[in-house]
Structure 1
Amino acid sequence: MATPQPSPSSSSSTPQSDTHTSQLQQQQDPKPPTTRPLPRFLENDPARTGYDPSLKWWLNYFKIITGQFTREGVEHYREDRYKANEARDCGRCEADRAYLFAYSPTIRFLRDKVTALNGTLDETNVVCRRCPARVAEDGRVVRQGGGFSPDHGILICANEMRDRGHLEDTLAHEMVHAWDHLRWKVDWMGGGNLKHAACTEIRASMLSGECRWTRETMTRGNWTLTQQFQNCVRMRAIQSVMARPACRDDVHATKVVNEVWDSCFSDKRPFEEVYR
């Protein structure tokens, strides 16, 4: 599978007129953090969750609406339905991906900017797949909408996409990561410097449209009128940094995001302004 390849000069580009190099080229953390242990995930137990995979799906659905499932059981049921509908979800995702590459101004703009850095993003390395979700022992549900890998390209989690608009936001988010990588060679895992991850997550959430007011209000029910956009970007960046193995906890993630906030939140490249 073709992958976006950094241009030779991508890690030595000239910063804007401020002293900012998007924090993507800056100093190492003085003490690399201790890696957190991986969470333990739960397997379905019908006696505990109420969900019995041997029953017809509609019988299990009836049990959900009548309150006979635990929250964990609902998640296991949802995951099995995603498996059953995988071909349908991926087909819809691929059709929407093709539409966005042809007609979305944001996606076409970012694709052109990636191309200008000697990278390539197309149907060969922007792929739609089913992404499994897991229920952690502490009750958290671990799921994702997409991801970027400098070695493989962009993953869109077809089963998590609500509609074409959601896919557009997710794809734009990951394309900002691709542009950042080609321009600055980001340390994605944060083994040496979590500031890289914090900065690119701030920029991706800011520029993708996923934190615009209509998305926050209509989809997430957040009707805050003051600092809504900034709070959304900060929260999503902290959550993403917490997913890095090198991040100790939410306090560590918040500290790193705050350290790079001013410079990275003011950096709109490759756009001139926040348009979405």
Structure 2
Amino acid sequence: MAPSTTQTPEAAAPTPTPSSSAAATSPELPAIVKNDPARTGFDPATKWWMNYFKILSGQITTEGAFHYRESRYVANEERDCKTCEGYRDWAFAHSPTVRFMREKIEALNGRLDADNVVCRRCPARLTADGEVHRQSGGFSPGHGILICANEVRDRKHLEDTLAHEMVHAWDHLRWKVDWAGGKDLKHAACTEIRASMLSGECRWTKEAITRGNWTLTQQFQECVRKRAVQSVLARPACKDDVQAVKVVNQVWDSCFADTRPFDEVYR
């Protein structure tokens, strides 16, 4: 990524808009699957506990269970957002990583606080190919950081998610990043490598215990690489997974070695 002039994120709250929302209308992308009670067994008009019992007894399909999960997120949106905001405020006050990144962002004339780091419900999408598309958060240069309150598992998960997006914010202020990849996908690949590497989301305990990905060698590197490829693949300019892997490999050595603004991988 080449150096550029400093830009400061604005304070307006970002709106959670999935980057691949065009799937609903674009013929090239799988259509979004909507619930059909006759097919899935999940009826949103029925009491939640009755639907839950039907899931336990096998009367609701996997697809129906997905729609049930989303309906509960809608019902619990206010609670989830309040919990998320409490975790966010704790991280700004006590997390060494978040506090360090906040100082470094301020040094580049940026600002991140409760006004532009917001908690919102982020709807997941089920597409016709059977894939479930979720997001934990996002960074918008013109708005700030979005934390998906319904996807936050606990305080440590929010800390990792916030740290990831703060690395993106720092990269945006330090360099001019082509976020969509329309001009150069290498920008997106590099910032995704750095964010996954520096945020703590790929540390050994999280991969081995939380995700069940346990290996003796190269576990950290493989996690960073996998998450970077997935993020690049979600960019509109990326054609397929082959191109995503190729672009990540092209920038891997230089970007994986770049720990700025940290002296080393801290988490």
Same fold, TM-score > 0.5, yes or no: yes
Q: Deviations over 1:101-142 (max 9, x none)?
A: 001000000000000000000000000000001100101001
Unaligned ranges ≥5, structure 1:
1-6, 12-34
**How far does residue 70 in structure 1 lie from its aligned partner after superposition?**
1.6
Distance of 1:241 and 1:36 partners within structure 2: 21
Unaligned ranges ≥5, structure 2:
8-25
Which residue pairs with 1:24 in the alignment? none
Which residue pairs with 2:15 in the alignment? none
| Equivalent AA in structure 2 for residue 191 of structure 1 | G
Aligned length: 247
**How far does residue 218 in structure 1 lie from its aligned partner after superposition?**
1.4
Q: Deviations over 1:26-48 (max 9, x none)?
A: xxxxxxxxx99343101100111
Which residue pairs with 2:95 in the alignment? 104
Corresponding position: 1:60 with 2:51: yes
Of 163, 176, 199, the residue aligned with 2:167 is 176
CA 1:51–1:200: 2 relative to 1, 3 Å? same
Which residue pairs with 1:115 in the alignment? 106
| TM-score normalized with structure 2 length | 0.90
Q: Kindly, what percent of the aligned residue pairs are identical?
A: 73
Runs of 4 or more, structure 1, over 4 Å off, are none
Which residue pairs with 1:15 in the alignment? none
Of 57, 67, 77, the residue aligned with 1:86 is 77
Distance of 1:251 and 1:71 partners within structure 2: 29
Q: Secondary structure at the match of 1:128?
A: strand
| Equivalent AA in structure 2 for residue 212 of structure 1 | R
Q: Secondary structure at the match of 2:128?
A: coil
| TM-score normalized with structure 1 length | 0.87
RMSD value, Cα: 1.5
**How far does residue 8 in structure 1 lie from its aligned partner after superposition?**
7.3
The structure showing larger relative contact order (alpha-carbon pairs under 8 Å, at least 6 residues apart) is 1
Distance of 1:134 and 1:221 partners within structure 2: 24
Distance of 1:36 and 1:52 partners within structure 2: 29
8 Å contact kept, 2:105–2:173 = yes
Q: Equivalent residues in 2 for 1:1-276 (5 A)?
A: 9-10=5-6, 37-276=28-267
